[in-house]
Amino acid sequence: MIRSLIVTFIIGLVIYFFTTLPASAYIDPGSGSFLLQIIGAAIVGVLFYIRSFRKWLQSHFSKKIRTKSRSENE
């Protein structure tokens, strides 16, 4: 079932890309700069999210470790 869907999808992509006509279009420098800014912001956003999640995870587990060590000392 899944294999036939993948084969159909690939055949569809091949037909699509080999039957399209070339476009007489270009990307002007302003659009290219804008795309680079979007890509850069996305990378920085993902890195910030990963760092924040890692700090939250570390603080979450360090609280559990501290409470376990306190209960063992008592």
Task: Give residue for tokens 């990378």.
Answer: 43
Opening angle at CA 61, ends 56 and 63, nearest 5: 95
Predicted confidence at residue 52, as pLDDT, reads 93
pTM of the model: 0.47
Which residues constitute the domain of residue 49? 41-74
> Is residue 1 domain-resident?
no
Is the pLDDT score of 70 beyond 70? no
How many CA atoms, within 13 angstroms, populate the side-chain half-sphere of residue 43? 6
- SS3 label, residue 55: helix
> Is residue 52 domain-resident?
yes
| Number of structural domains found in the chain | 1
d(CA 8, CA 2): 10
Q: 49 or 2, which is more confident?
A: 49
> Is residue 14 domain-resident?
no
> Is residue 31 domain-resident?
no
Q: What is the rounded average pLDDT of the residues 6-25?
A: 86
Predicted confidence at residue 64, as pLDDT, reads 64
> Is residue 21 domain-resident?
no
